[in-house]
Amino acid sequence: MEYRTLGSLNVSLVGIGCNNFGWRTDAVGTASVVDAALDAGVNFFDTADCYGAGQSEEFLGRALKGRRGKAIIATKFGMKMGEGMEGARPSYVLQALDASLRRLGVDVIDLYQIHRPDAHTPIAETMQALNDVVKAGKVREIGCSNFSAEQIRAARATPGPGYFASVQNEYSLFKREPEADVLPECARTRVGFLPYFPLANGLLAGKYRKGKPFPESSRGKDEFGPKVFTSGNLERVEKLIAFAESRGHTLLELAVSWLAARPEVPSVIAGAKTADQVRANARAASWKLTAEDLAEVDRLLGA
Q: What is the CATH number of the domain that holds 126?
A: 3.20.20.100
Does residue 35 sit within a domain?
yes
Mean pLDDT for 68-83 is: 96
Does residue 232 sit within a domain?
no
pLDDT at 227 over 90: no
> Is residue 240 within 8 Å of residue 199, measured between CB atoms?
no
Does residue 13 sit within a domain?
yes
Does residue 235 sit within a domain?
no
Cα–Cα dist 252/55, whole Å: 28
Total domains in the fold of the chain: 1
pTM for the predicted model, two decimal places: 0.92
**What residues act catalytically?**
51
The model's pLDDT over 158-168, given as tens digits with 9 standing for 90+, comes to 988 889 999 99
Measured in Å, how far apart are the chain's first and last C-alpha atoms? 30
Q: Give the pLDDT score at 225.
A: 56
Question: Quick one: pLDDT band at residue 92, thresholds 50, 70, 90?
Answer: very high
The model's pLDDT over 29-64, given as tens digits with 9 standing for 90+, comes to 999 999 999 999 999 999 999 999 999 999 999 999
Half-sphere exposure of 122 (CA within 13 A, CB side): 6
CB contact set of 201 (below 8 Å; sequence gap of 6+): 219, 224, 228
Range of the domain at 108: 3-207+259-287
Residue 182 vs residues 45, 169, 197, 249, 287: alpha-carbon distances, Å: 23, 9, 16, 29, 25
DSSP-derived secondary structure letter, 53: G
